[in-house]
Amino acid sequence: MPKPRAKLSGLPVINDRAAAIDIGSRFHVVAVPPELCDQPVQTFQAFTGDLEHMADWIVSLGIKTVAMESTGVYWIPAYEILQDRGLEVIVANARESRAVPGRKSDVNDAQWLQRLHACGLLRPSFRPSGDIAALRANLRLRERHLDYAAAHIQHMQKALTFMNLQLHHVVSDITGATGMRIIRAIVGGERDSGVLAAMRDRNCRSSVETIRAALVGNYCA
């Protein structure tokens, strides 16, 4: 027989000035303790001006800490604006908040998060400082660009193979000096293998004759 779920209402409130935000792509739903105002649940659009109005409303109620879930990247603008207002902002893992027993179907996500946060049941995810966050974002962007570059190189290689141009067999890297000169010339309309082979860089190990033979193919493909 399954054990009955624990009742969240019986847990002690640790953060009596805790709020929570249900983050969305177009609007955010904010829940605060019901004793602080007549409308403890309010909705704000995701525009910057609305986020600032949301932050001002939260601060005016004396809220000290705010919890939100890491929904895509939509939480970042709200996080930064609230943090600039001097609030303690935690980003909780959505799986952990949904795993807590006692959730009721008639309680919306923002109210549920607020109750969990008020009872100290949300564990904040690691959020690095501004400089480290910027560095991490740049490193991720660099990695993504390298992935894109690798994919484009594969597209170039496939196009050359489709025309039976064996450039990759006679140069070590088709994105090197020799390879890129030849590929740019081909894209520009040059089809003479002798003219293309003459674009060989002096440091290339393959001879002009070898490169010329590799560049005889089906340019009509």
Q: Domain 12-127 sits in which CATH superfamily?
A: YqgF/RNase H-like domain (3.30.420.140)
- E strands present in the chain: 18-22, 27-31, 41-45, 65-69, 88-92
Question: What's the whole-model pTM score?
Answer: 0.63
pLDDT value for 101: 58
Residue ranges of the chain with per-residue pLDDT less than 50 = 1-7, 105-106
pLDDT at residue number 26? 94
Instruction: Write down the domain spans for the chain.
Output: 12-127, 143-214
pLDDT at 129: 72
Give residue 12's pLDDT.
87
